[in-house]
Amino acid sequence: MCYLYNVESQNTKGPGHSRSLEVPPVRVLLFILATFLGFVLLELWLYWQSKDKPLQLGLWDLIFWGLLIFWSVRVEVRLPLNAGMSQLFLFALALVVLTPPWVAPLAAFLAQWGGSAWYKEFFNRSQDGLATAIAALVWILAQENPLYLGRWDLSDGVGIAAAAFSFFAVNSSLVAFVIHLDSQTPLREIWRRNMGWVALSYLLLSPIALLLARAYETPLLGNWGGWTVLFFLIPLYYSRFYWDEKVRLEQAFDTTLELLMNALEAKDPMTRLHSERVADIARDLARKVKDGDEAYAQAIYRAARLHDIGKIAIPEAVLLKPGSLTPEEFALIQSHTTKGAELLSPARKVAFDQLVYNVILHHHERWDGRGYPKRLAGHEIPEEARIVGLADAYEAMTAGRPYRKAKTPEEALREVQELSGHQFDPRLVEAFTELWAQNPIWRDREAYIAAKEGSLLRSTSPQRSSASALPSPSEPGPRTSEE
């Protein structure tokens, strides 16, 4: 497992930005240096303890295993939260079995190149070397303290299992902690998203490391054990294929839902990029109120992109009606919250957690209890729904509709502040005001669309003017920012 750069954040820095010039936060840099120091000290100690042991493998053998480690890193599987998963551990553990204990950690440190930012590359080398060194130490202890069950010598089996567990524990802990330091994402969330679902398959593969080592020692083809090792790359590829397909399936599911939202917004040109802008506002607001918790902010972003998914079930004649709504039509519009939750209910245990459903179902609740669908009030409303609800309202205020002219960003901010304690959580309004003052790209809708699409067709943009206060969402008639 390794530490990768964030693709999204990297893309926002422009084509001229070089990852080689990135400088990490001080806390991250200190942790990386501590990891490297731990690796060097343990490596020197292992070398000192085993310097009299013969190397056993020749130069070409070491090159062969080094190339396997290099290949495993190059075909790593990207995980959700700035991490990647590879099968380096199998080849590193096989080298632990075949060579003196200092060789495998050094090979794990040297024989890889991931192409990340320099400090992440340095960290990945250091943590892989340290994890391999600790695994080598555990393997030595198992060999020096043999374990028998009757006449069966279990030392090798127990030793490789313990070494694999040690490698995984050190590797995953170091990667999780550096991601936590860099992004402020809670460790529990990092484990759940990146490590938890691969832990079992990771540990079940560990006996293959011992099998690779023994196969290399007892050639079956051409008087060279490498042929047998290469043969075992076939099942290893399929195990990697399983990891990769799981990640790709989740990504494909998200992409499908985004396409649905884009198709929904395409029905009305005036609402283009609505859910994307709402999501960007909500993500910044979530990051602000959660002290930089990146995992929570990304979860809010994903949920906000889907907050209006239920409108797919609303007839276009009602959804795009330019005039006032009848009470029946207004009730139908309001039903998009429950329809959205019902629409995604088959994926509840597969692709979405409760946060997404809370946002879809409750983003039109009000702080004073006059919202819909359940008329929740105050802290009864899930925080994620309160965040997206505020972002949705601001976007609607500044977007304009055929039945309501757009407000300027200043007018929309004043209205949000006036509705603090009525429609919106006062704490969120305060945080939103601070964000707004920093002039983020989403503050002005025209600037946002220009940045997202590369050009702005002013002839289709709504004219800005002030507008009257919004009526309660429980009242039919002229539609409001809460719709």
Q: What is the pLDDT of residues 376-404, one digit of tens each?
A: 999 999 999 999 999 999 999 998 766 67
Q: pLDDT grade, residue 242 (50/70/90)?
A: low
Cis ω for the linkage preceding 402 (within 30 of 0): no
Q: Which domains does the chain have, with CATH numbers?
A: 2-249 (1.10.1760), 267-460 (1.10.3210.10)
The larger pLDDT score, comparing residue 349 to residue 410, is at: 410
The larger pLDDT score, comparing residue 256 to residue 369, is at: 369
CA nearest neighbour of 132 among 226, 35, 225: 35
Looking at residue 402, what is its pLDDT?
Answer: 63
Q: Judge whether residue 231 has pLDDT over 90.
A: no
Q: pLDDT grade, residue 474 (50/70/90)?
A: very low
Amino acid identity of residue 30, one-letter, is: L
Looking at residue 322, what is its pLDDT?
Answer: 76
| Matching residue, tokens 């030793």 | 159
The per-residue pLDDT for range 188-228, each reduced to its tens digit, is 778 777 776 677 777 788 888 888 898 898 877 778 888 88
CA 4, CA 123: separation in Å to the nearest integer? 10
Q: Are 309 and 360 in contact (CB under 8 A)?
A: yes
Residue 144, burial from CB neighbour count under 10 angstroms (0-12, 13-18, 19+): exposed
What's the predicted TM-score (pTM) here? 0.62
Residue 225, burial from CB neighbour count under 10 angstroms (0-12, 13-18, 19+): buried
* Tokens representing residue 45 in the block: 């100690």
What's phi and psi for 115, nearest 5 deg? 80, 15
The per-residue pLDDT for range 442-471, each reduced to its tens digit, is 999 888 888 877 643 433 333 333 333 333
CA 307, CA 459: separation in Å to the nearest integer? 29
Cite the beta strand spans of 69-166 per DSSP E: 77-79, 83-85, 148-149, 152-153
Average pLDDT value for residue range 279-292: 92
CA 477, CA 374: separation in Å to the nearest integer? 21
Buried b / exposed e along 65-76 (16+ C-beta atoms within 10 A): bbebbbbbbeeb
The per-residue pLDDT for range 27-45, each reduced to its tens digit, is 999 999 999 999 999 999 9
Mean of per-residue pLDDT scores for the chain: 81
